[in-house]
Every structure is written in C-alpha cells, then in structure tokens.
Chains A and B, each alone.
Chain A
Amino acid sequence: MLWSLLALFVVYPLSAMFGQAFLVDGRPSLGPLLSALGQPNHRAALANSLVLGTLVGIVGTTIGFLFAFTATRCNLPDRWVRLLDAATLLPLISPPFTTSIAFVFSFGPRGLITYELLGIKGTNVYGLASTLAAEVLTYFPIAYLALRPVLAAIGGNIEEMAFSLGSSRWRVFRTVTLPLAVPGLANAFLLLFAASLADFATPLILAGSRFPVLPTEAYLQITGLFDLKGGAVLSFLLLVPAAIVFLLQRHWVGRGHFVTVTGKAGPQSALDGVSRGARCLLVALCATVALSILYLYALLLYASVVVAFGANHALTLKHYVVIFTEGWKAIKDTLIIAFLGMPVGGLFGVLVGYLVARGEFRGRQAMELVSMANYALPGTIVGIAYLIAFNDPPIALTGGALIIVACYVFRYSPTGVRTTVALLKQIDRGIEEASRSLGAGSFTTFRRVTLPLVLPAFFAGLGVVFIRSMTAISATIFLVSIDWILITVRILENMTELSLGPAAAFSVFVIAVVMLVTTAIGALLRRLPGPPGIATVAGYGGG
C-alpha cells in the first residue's frame, strides 16, 4: 500500500520526466540534452547555478560557523543565545523569497538605503551580488543548526587538554577545534550548496535576466515557451549536481565521520574559550548579521502598512484589505491545502518511519531512500516531474487540489519519517518487549506503547508539512491553476506587477500564521507526557 503510493507519487513522476528528457519518438536519444547544452544561455545557467551554490556554501558556512562558535564558546548569557536563535529561526520558517522582497525594498531603485539614505538613482539591485546576499541570509541558519552540535561536542575537555599543554587560544582553535570541525563544515557546505542549487524564488526575484540559473531557466522554458521537453532536460541538468551532493552528504553522515569525539562532551569549559577582544569581535559580527535579518523583516512589515513604499509613507491598512478581499481565494485555497496535507503528511511520515526503523522486510532501505527522494531533489524538478506525469491520462491530476496536496505530502513528510526513525532508535526495543511479556499482543503494544511514544514525531512532521504548505513555491508553482491558487504564487505575481504593498502584506500574513502554528505545536509537544529526553528533532531546515 505504502509502496504503491510511493511508486505513484515519487518513482512514476521522476521516470516520466526522464522519459520526456531522453525519449524522442519513443527511442532513447541524447539529442535533447545535447541541443540544450548547445544553447549558450542554458550553459550559462548551469555555470551560474554552480558558482552561486559554491559561493552561498562558502559564505553561508562561514557565517553559520561564526554563529555556532559564538553560541557555544563565548559564555554568552542565555538571553543573548536565544536572541541569536530567534534571528536564525525567522528565515527558516518564512517563505523562501521573503528576504528577496525585503532586499528590493532596501536596495531597489526606490530602496530605503540606496534611494532614501544614499540618494543613488537608478540602481540595479538585480544580479549575482544581491542573489548571493539574500540566499546567504536565508540559508545560513541551516549551517548554524548543523554546526552548533558539532562545536558543542568538540568543546570542553579536549580544548582544556590542549590549553593545559600550553597552547595559546588561537593555537587551540587552529590545531584542535578547526580540524575536528572539518567534517561538520563539509556537511554544512553541502547542505547550503544543495539549498542554493534548489532555490527558485530568490533568483526569480533578484537574479534578473543577465544572471540566469537553472531553476528559473526551467521555469521560463515551461511557462514562457510551453516547452515541456526543454524543462525536463534542464531539470536533468539540475538533478545531476543535486544527486551528487545528496549522495556525498549521505555518505558523510552515514559513515559516522561526523562523530569525531567519543565519550561524554565535558561540561562547558570554565575557561573563556576566546579572548576578550575576539569575543567582542565575534559578538559584534553576529549581532550585525542578526540585526540585518531583523531589519529586513521590519522593513517588510513597514512596507505592508504604508500606502506605497518609497513614494508615499502614510500609514494604511489597505494592503491587508486587498489581500483579504481580492486575495481571499489564495488564502482560502492555501489554508485548505495546508490543513488537508497536514494530518496526511504527519501520519504518512510516522508510518513510513515506523516501517523503516522497526519493520523486518526486504527493501527497507530502498523504501527510506525513495521516501527521501522528493525531499532531497530541488523543488523545480519535482514540480516539473509532477506536471509531466499527471498532465495527461492515465492519471490526469493537474489543476486540482489533490496534486498540490500530494506534492506537499511526499515532499515534506520525510522530516516526519526521519524524526520517527530517530525517536524509535532512542526507544529501546525492550520497552516493546516488556509490553509483550506482560501479555499485550502486537497490536495492543503498538497502540498503547509505540504510538504514544512517536507522537512527538507525528506532530513535528505535521508541523513541517503545514509550514512548507504555507511557504513553499518551487514545486507547486507548476501545479497551480485558476481553481487552486497559492499565496506564495500570488506574492510572486504581485512582485512582478510591482504591487509591492500586497506582496509585503501577504508575506507578513504567512509568517504570522506559520509562527502561530509553530508555537501551538511547540506548546502541544511540551505538554505531551514522557521524559524530557525524548524531545523533538525539529527539522525545519531545507527549502
């Protein structure tokens, strides 16, 4: 049953896309691929995507490392650390292009900084630099979340040991901390590279025509030229580096290169890990990044309550009136889809996770890999694959709500799968055996012991499906129709029509709803019975 669903919504669309890209008149052919590579702007898109991904990886990992180092080594008061966490959480739960929109407000032709403060006229915000900056601010929190536990594990005893051997702080950092963090840094780089490669919304808004990247090229190929085959070929070009990165990263984490330190992570060192000067510098750097994020979000909020940003700064609520009248259909559709997908995705994640962790059948690992595929692949690929697969009979689903819900469920339930697997790995099999030894059959054991214990994973998975249903765009932009429209797609339309006010208002609305639901789920999770040790692995990362 699960297998047939996975086959229908993961394997079938991908193979349909491959078929589209490599079959000419029913015969396998490399023609479409070669002709795509022959076009200079397609080649440029490929090169640009790789360059952008590499730069985002390097800069984002650096900032993420700075944040993680500051949070774990500077003996900051708890309040400060929580401030850092809050600043990094915002980009993770927002629609992926929020930063880009705020960037336009800040640095665009009528931007707050470029126009109002510096008085530069006719600036061009579009291009590599701003795309890079926006993507770094959006995705560096992923690196921060990945690196923080790594640095925390390295800490304490090992560094104290090096100190006791007479090393200076800088020397300890250079010879002990940094080398031990290398696997973590590589992992963070790969995560960011993949995120940037897959990012569709930021380049669509900020890259401009002179800096094409693969996801936007594929999108234009399909929506502009109605060229499904060209879109499929470009998706394939995107798929190759994405798959390589995914496999590399999986190999790295799976082989346990990650756990560089065995034994207990000692207590946080009483010694200051860094000197006063370095500490001030680190805190200042982090504060600058955190404040820029807060500034961008504040700007977004401000833009949503003024008549016309950059021209008329009188306060008004008219943009909110617009989104709740003209935009009401998008809001309604998005919420319906999100609330439909939420329980289904949560349940699906727990079921697959349970089978992967506890099942004893052949193909367990294959099931895990297949269930992760739609999550690991860039959204553009998944969207195009769905479009190709479900546009025509035998399974014509495009235009309906079902295809969007299915896309979200299969793309975002892997968080639930992974959380369930992680939880079940923490739960000793003995607990289930204890239940059986006390006379409970396997069904009673599942209902009364296993299910309550994986409840946190269910809610975490459900939360992620909801958040992504509210904020994602890359896959579903290919799947919306007149009947079913999404808020994120409307925001993009507003941006291209230069009606910035409603775009800002929509964004604020989405962020508010997401924060509300995240907080509610967080509160619910805290009230679930059980030891504090079984906390949730909130996997909000990844676009």
Chain B
Amino acid sequence: MAANPVSIRLVGISARFDHRVKGEVAAVDDVSLEVAPGELLTLLGPSGCGKTTTLRMIAGFQRPSAGRILIGDHDVTEVLSNDRNIGFVFQNYALFPHLGIFENVAYGLRVRRMDEAAIRRVVGDVLELVGLKGYERQMPHQLSGGEQQRVALARAIVIKPRVLLFDEPLSNLDAKLRVQMRGEIQRLQRDVGITTVYVTHDQEEAMAISDRIAVMSKGVIAQLGRAEDLYSRPASEFVARFIGRANLLRTTVLARDGARLTLGMAGQRYVVDAPESGPPVGAVAHAVIRPETILIGPADAVGAIPGRVVTRTYLGEKTEYTVTVGADTLQIVRIGAAETERFEPGAAVGIRLPAGRLHLLPEVGT
C-alpha cells in the first residue's frame, strides 16, 4: 500500500502545562527522535511517562509547547490533525457508536469524497484483510473487544495514511487475545510497510512487536534501541528493572585495563566491558545481571559464591529461587532444569555469575 514510507522526526518537542499545585509541569521534556521509514517504533514506559502525550503530538491532537514535528520532509507542527494523513488506533477503539461497521470503516473515505463503488470495494478488501468479512451491517456494540479493535485498525489503514499511530491498542483485551492481536498488527504493519509509532506499557508486547523501542521515563527518553540492546545492556537501573527482571549488584572496581574493568564482589573477581566513562579504580560500581543467567549448584562446587535459599517456586517450565548472598538477595530463574534439581529453602548452595553476563551500569538512577 504505502509505496514510499516516510520518516517521522521529532525535534526537541515539549509538552508543558500549568498544574494547579506543582506549577509548570513538563509531560514531555525536549524529546528528539527519528523513526525510520517503514519502521515500527514503540514508546514504552510506565503511566505518566509522557509516551501517550508524545503520540498525541505526532497525531496533532495536542500542540507541542516547543519543538518541531516532521513527517517525511514536511514540517507538520502547525498542521491540523485532519490534514496530517495519519491513521490512529485508540485504546478504547473509539468507534462511532451510531454508525455500522461498514460506515465506520468508510468514514475516512467519505470525508475524502471517494465515489461509492470504490468505497464498497476498498472497505470490502480491508475488512477481509482484518478478518471481518460479513460484519458490515453490525453495530459496534454487537462486536467483541477484539473485533472492535480490528474495525478500528481497518478504519485507520483504509485511508492509506502515511503514518500509523497506536495508543495502547491491546490493553483492553484479555491476555490470549492480546498475544494473537499483536501478531496480527505486526504482520499487517510489515505487509503494508507504513511507518508506525506504537505506545504501550507492556514490555513483552513492546519486545515482540517492535523494530526499536524507546523507553520513556518522566518525559524523556531513557534509552533507545533494539529489544536485545535494552535487555542485555540497559543504560540505567530504571531500564534494567522496567525491561524484564534484574539483580543489581554492588561491586568495587579493582583494576582498569583499557576497555576492560576488573570488578570485585563477594571475594570473586569479574572482568567486564567498561562503559566509556567508567568509574575510577576503587570506586563502587553497580552491575546488572539477569536472573536466568545465574548458575546455581551444590555449596561445595569449586569457585562458587556461597549462598542460602530463601524461597523456591516451581512454575512448570521454570523454577524461581531467591537466594541470599552476604547482604544481597538475588533472584535466580532456572529454565528447563532437571526435576531432580531441588534446592529447598534453607539449603546452602553455591552460585556462579558468568562474567560475560554481568553488565556495568553507566550511572545509577534512583
């Protein structure tokens, strides 16, 4: 459909408003971002981080208080949303309750004064594409949540927008349907190749669907990158904790050798890649390690750090442990472990932290 996908560029946009108590508040604070043509980029973050406000500014529902927005080569900052040629999918679907499914989908085409025969053909095609052929005469409230969201999707893509914007489209659906729908959205977006910005607070959804993810916190982008980058090399404690589960370890920098640092923790030495402006020798540094990369074994294993099991939770395909090591408590996840492997609460165990899985945080957020 979209033969020539366009890029979206945000140049230093902010959304400030006056708060009754706090004075001037920035929901979005000087954010710059470039979405490549045809890319699916997700804005991910907890509620109140500014992701939806950013999306609404791209859509033109809200004027940025500073900065420019460019779609392709056009500066659209001052362009009304009805002239931006966007497709927007709302969290609560926002179907027109007084119009049938056919008319809902045809709405944007009628506004564009397409002739009746063409409308019939195009709407029929798009309804077939989203798997709702035969629903033309139904009213929105007769459809299930998943079906309504498909209508909303069809209504957004039928006008062949230059960019597609999703505002938490799946959060009103139940867990199974969510997984199925996100697959469909991804497939559809690949097929039509429209540049897409997708907003969600669900990190799993973001990782499953996106080309790149921008993690947002308090109105700024905390980290931008592929899912793999964010997971294995989080830029801050916030990102580490928001994407997946993380153990944060206090270590001491023992030595520095070019791009390599030697860290000491619990009497063990670990050599890791140093960030550009690494901490000086002797300083305290924080390292992140993911629960499923930690090895757990018998207490007498050679080179293992001694620990004690506090809880053990068996979850079928995996088993979760919490283990105290000195003053720290570590979360450990064992995936596909043998059924005979049982470390009961109270048992002394030995754990190992593979040095390659240890990631030093450049800075520690609070």
- Tally B residues with Cβ within 8 Å of A: 33
Report the minimum CB–CB distance from A451 to chain B (whole Å).
Answer: 10
**Are A444 and B92 interface neighbours, CB within 8 A?**
no
Most interface-central of A434, A441, A529, A531 (chain B CB within 10 A): A434
In the bound complex, what is the Cα–Cα distance between A474 and B88 (angstroms)?
53
Q: Give the tally of cross-chain contacts (CB within 8 A).
A: 84
Which residues of chain A come closer than 8 Å to B159, judged between CB atoms?
438-439
Chain A residue numbers with a CB within 8 Å of B82 are 436-441
Residues 81-119 of chain B: 1 if any A CB is under 8 Å from the residue's CB, otherwise 0? Answer: 111111110111011111100000001100110000000
Q: Is the pair A434, B111 in contact by a Cβ cutoff of 8 Å? A: no
Contact flags A441-474 to B (C-beta < 8 A → 1, else 0): 1001000110011000000000000000000000
Query: Is there a chain A Cβ closer than 8 Å to B140's Cβ?
Result: yes
B141 contacts which chain A residues (CB < 8 A)? 531-533
Contact (Cβ within 8 A) A437 B86: yes
B80 within 8 A of A: yes
- Flag whether A430 is at the interface (Cβ < 8 A): yes
Query: Nearest chain A CB to B94's CB is how many angstroms away?
Result: 4
Number of A residues whose C-beta is below 8 Å from B?
Answer: 25
Complex CA gap A334/B65 in Å reads 56
Within 8 Å by CB of B97, from A435, A438, A439, A531, lies A531
Contacts of A430 in B (CB 8 A): 90-92, 94
**Least Cβ–Cβ distance between A526 and chain B, in angstroms:** 14
Contact flags A77-103 to B (C-beta < 8 A → 1, else 0): 000000000000000000000000000
B81 A433 Cβ-Cβ under 8 A? yes
**Is residue A326 within 8 Å, beta carbon to beta carbon, of the partner chain?**
no
Known: A428-B92, A435-B107, A440-B107. A453 touches B112 (CB 8 A): no
* Residue of A whose beta carbon sits closest to that of B141: A531
Query: How far, in angstroms, from A34 to B150 measured CA to CA in the complex?
Result: 72
CA of A534 to CA of B98, assembled, Å:
10
Contact partners of B61 in chain A: CB under 8 A: 433, 436-437
Query: A134 CA to B277 CA in the complex, in Å?
Result: 87
Asked whether any CB of chain B lies closer than 8 Å to the CB of A31, the reply is no
Contact of A439 with B96 in the complex, beta carbons under 8 Å: no
Q: Does B26 contact A (CB under 8 A)?
A: no
Chain B residues 238 to 288 lying within 8 A of chain A, measured CB to CB, are: none
For the complex, give the distance between the alpha carbons of A532 and B97 in Å.
Answer: 10
| A266 contacts B by Cβ under 8 Å | no
Closest to A532 in B: B141
Please tell me which one of the listed residues A427, A436, A444 contacts residue B81 in the complex, with CB atoms under 8 A apart.
A436
A149 part of interface (Cβ distance < 8 Å) = no
Q: Shortest CB–CB separation between residue A193 and chain B, in angstroms? A: 34
| Nearest-neighbor residue (CB-CB) of B108 within chain A | A438
Q: Is A119 an interface residue (CB 8 A)?
A: no
In the assembled complex, B348 has its CB within 8 A of some CB on chain A: no
Q: Is the CB of B107 within 8 A of A437?
A: no
B139 within 8 A of A: yes
Q: Which residues of B contact A529 (CB under 8 A)?
A: 98-99, 139
Residue pair B88, A434 in contact (C-beta under 8 Å): yes
Pairs across A and B, CB under 8 Å, 30 listed: A428-B94, A430-B90, A430-B91, A430-B94, A431-B96, A431-B97, A433-B59, A433-B90, A434-B96, A434-B152, A434-B155, A435-B107, A436-B60, A437-B61, A437-B87, A437-B88, A437-B156, A438-B107, A438-B108, A439-B82, A439-B85, A439-B108, A439-B112, A440-B108, A440-B111, A444-B111, A452-B98, A529-B99, A530-B98, A534-B97
List 8 additional contacts besides A434-B90, A439-B159; criterion CB under 8 Å.
A435-B107, A436-B81, A437-B84, A439-B85, A440-B108, A530-B97, A530-B139, A534-B97
